[in-house]
Amino acid sequence: MSTFEMAAVAISFLAIWLTARRSLFCWPLNLLACALYFKLFLDVRLYADMALQAVFGLGILYGWIVWSRERRDTGAVVVMPLSRLRALAGLALGAFGAVAIGWFTSRHTDAALPWMDATLSAFSLVAQYWTARRHRENWLLWIVVDIAYVGMFLYKGLLPTAGLYAVMIGLAVIGYRDWRRPLAASEGECPTLPPTAW
């Protein structure tokens, strides 16, 4: 356990909590967390997760732009339903990415856990895209991915990070509940999330 890892954990926790609260401040903090975890994963040879942080950085910028544009005059972030076809397409892309990344890292790097690392990285990208697009189902995918991450980080001896991901499972449950409430309450109109103060 290092001071560096503890800082990454604290910033990541705050960023995810702000995402669940629909605050635009989540995006710059998520960007900082990505930079910290890029270095941490490089140090422990989780290369797919290291590369994932770089891609997450681009996804975070995209999400920041989308959330900034797709708010009502009240400041509320609009929650968009995810169609079954788009959900299946996203999961299929995640599976394809897992195989492609796993094949590459298992043959061309000294990755510690190439297949598990690749699978979690690929499906994390799907979940990140769904978050940026404001689909409440992103939280369900994050729950599944984070459960597996807890096991991987425990195995690698990254105890604070494993603890962070365990807490993130709870935050994802809260996020799904909170993002689902406006959809259930609205009938025939575009659902929104209550505005969050900056």
Is residue 156 assigned to a domain?
A: yes
How far is residue 43's CA from residue 62's CA, in Å, rounded to a whole number? 27
Domain interval for residue 91 = 3-73+80-185
How far is residue 149's CA from residue 158's CA, in Å, rounded to a whole number? 11
Residues in the chain: 198
* Model confidence, pTM: 0.78
Helix ranges (H only) for the chain are 3-20, 26-43, 47-69, 84-108, 114-132, 138-155, 159-185
Is residue 190 assigned to a domain?
A: no
Is residue 19 assigned to a domain?
A: yes
Residue segments in the chain with a per-residue pLDDT below the cut of 70 = 1, 70-77, 181-198
Is residue 197 assigned to a domain?
A: no
Q: What pLDDT, on the 0 to 100 scale, is given for residue 73?
A: 53
Is residue 177 assigned to a domain?
A: yes
Q: Which two tokens stand for residue 75?
A: 């400041």
18, 34 contact by CB (below 8 A): no
Is residue 192 assigned to a domain?
A: no
| pLDDT, tens digit (0-9, with 9 covering 90-100), for 29-50 | 999 999 999 998 898 888 877 8
Is residue 193 assigned to a domain?
A: no
Count of structural domains within the chain: 1
